Amino acid sequence: MEHVHRCADLRSSYEDRNLLLKDYGPKPFVVNINRATKQNHTFRTALWTGKHLQVTLMSLGIGEDIGLEIHPNVDQFLRIEQGRGIVKMGKSKDHLNFQRNVYDDYAIIVPAGTWHNVINTGNTPLKLYSIYAPPNHPFGTVHKTKADAVAAED
């Protein structure tokens, strides 16, 4: 029984440490995604990039949004770990007829070819992670701010 407690103590102390937020792909990787997402303070940081899939962490400031975008050939899964917001989606950027409020533990699925935006409507940073299939950003992507992300796309 003592061995079990020692293992639990080791696990607990390991999980209490902050993870270095960088791209760990394409090697095998295990992470406490909730903790890593909440630890992230950048607009976007790639956490794992593989051949067919990518995981990014995002933090949106109060009132900030991801920015209206479309990924023609990429399906996207987003999960809210902290905060609240609204997601808007539609077939054209002028007709976002799908709108839902989102909160902690909500998942958002964006089919390829769908215009979408996520807006932080809360009074704390909105922390989320996104899974792209296939990858949507270069390996190792870090955008400290939304302006950095926009500049990288130009």
What is the token pair recorded at 38?
């909440």
Q: Is residue 74 part of a domain?
A: yes
CA 38-45-39 angle, to 5 degrees, is 20
Q: Is residue 7 part of a domain?
A: no
Burial bucket for residue 118 (CB in 10 Å: 0-12, 13-18, 19+): buried
Q: Is residue 62 part of a domain?
A: yes
The per-residue pLDDT for 16 is 52
pLDDT in tens, 70-79: 999 999 999 9
Question: Averaged over 94-111, what is the pLDDT?
Answer: 98
Q: Is residue 5 part of a domain?
A: no
Q: Which domain holds residue 83?
A: 21-153
Mean pLDDT, the chain, integer: 93
Domain count, the chain: 1
Q: Is residue 76 part of a domain?
A: yes
The predicted model scores a pTM of 0.88
Question: Averaged over 107-133, what is the pLDDT?
Answer: 99
Q: What is the CATH number of the domain that holds 34?
A: 2.60.120.10
Q: Is residue 88 part of a domain?
A: yes
